[in-house]
Amino acid sequence: MAAQRQVRPDKYTEFVSGGLGRDVAKRLGLPQPAILRRYTPGAPLVLGPILVVGHTEGSDAVADVLLSWGQDVRRHAAPKEKLGAIVLVLDGLAHPDRLSAPLREVGGALRDLHRNGRVVSISRRAQPEDAPEAAAARNAVDGIVRSLAKELRAGATANGVVLSNGTSAAAPSALSALRFFLSARSAFVDGQFLTASSAGSPATPDWENPLAGRVAVVTGSARGIGASIARTLARDGAKVVAVDVPAAGDRLAAVANEIHGTALQLDITATEAGARILDHAAQRHGRLDIVVHNAGITRDKLLANMDAARWDSVIAVNIAAQLRMNQAFLASSHFADSPRIVSVSSTSGIAGNRGQTNYAASKAGVIGMVRSTAPLLEDRGGTVNAVAPGFIETAMTAKIPFATREVARRLNSLRQAGAPEDVAEAIAYFASEASAGVTANILRVCGQNLVGQ
């Protein structure tokens, strides 16, 4: 198993995190990002008691489950008691005028939230058949959580679990999403929602070794985010097939050796790429359980100056290859035991980015592919989701001019860039058995961009 890698904060974040640097930043009104608490196996779920706010059967059930996880649970805040997290259960919400009391209770407890604390809502998705007041109330939670995420400081985050029709607050899928948001695995996930259904409810999960016995393939895994994904899946117990182009063979072999996996040199745009991955996995492990589509390229240019080579190569690698490989996987009996597909999209595919019409098209295409593929996996108990990274510290972003890089780092609620490990943790959650019933989600790992969603 690969050793746990320590994520180092950028130099500015390190400087303002204590002593003179903190005082200087405060006096000058400069951003004061906190050093984020990231996941370490065996570490506590949260750093203090969890306050559960709500007066429904669902809130009682959630409190009971948190107790069964060994957490210190409060149903009412004690004055000046530091809290590790606040869980706001609104599963019975039917009118906007019912929001005031629980939200004021949450507001009164926010000053006692620990550094790197968590606020997680549990609410219901608005349905077309809902009465207007119920739909208004349920949709209001979206605005509340996203706004609160922009108010929190010191590395704290706010996220939400959305219950699909007929799903209880204590459904295994809802609880797994809650646990992900409470944990340090979600350090750079802020202002986001996961939708949980009651379908495919898992058995009692192994939270410490969630991928034990599973076989995973990760494309583009020779370096950067892909290498981090491979390491994280291996840490969580998976046997990993690391895939990358032949030109990256030496780096690919090094990653595969580090995690005690196998390397497969492959151009994923080749017609037979899916079949070759299946053959490799079947010969080495007898099956394939998890596919992570991480490989991607950029060929940026303003559309007025875009040529066919730049456009076609990005589409071929970033989306067409995934579609072709998925067809092969879905047709195979080796990919049939509660399989997982996780694709790496991008915030560019959601909000767009200047000079990236080709890249944004491919990453928005990934989102469409994920949503339409979800029903195709239902019969075999599988799920498909996407992770959309924002500004992540990689070798590529390190080449951005200093001033531009510094601005990009601070334009989110957490006032810093993410790490490849942050993307990997979200993918590992989607790859786990605990995430059964969590499908067709697009989870942004971006620290919550300050502009737009």
Q: Which residues have a catalytic role annotated?
A: 359
CA distances from 81 to 51, 59, 78, 156, 297 (A): 10, 21, 6, 16, 49
Cβ-based neighbours of 118, under 8 Å, separated by 6 or more? 46, 84, 85, 86, 156, 157, 158, 159, 181, 182, 186
Amino acid at 367: I
Q: Could you give the CA distance from residue 211 to residue 356 in angstroms, rounded to a whole number?
A: 35
Query: Among 414, 368, 370, which residue's Cα sits nearest to residue 391?
Result: 414
Q: Could you give the CA distance from residue 357 to residue 321 in angstroms, rounded to a whole number?
A: 18
Q: Could you give the CA distance from residue 359 to residue 355 in angstroms, rounded to a whole number?
A: 9
Burial class (CB in 10 A: 0-12, 13-18, 19+), 388: buried
CA distances from 205 to 170, 179, 233, 246, 434 (A): 14, 11, 16, 37, 6
Q: Could you give the CA distance from residue 195 to residue 424 in angstroms, rounded to a whole number?
A: 20
Asked if 376 contacts 404 with a C-beta cutoff of 8 angstroms, the reply is no
- Other Cβ atoms closer than 10 A to 198: 17
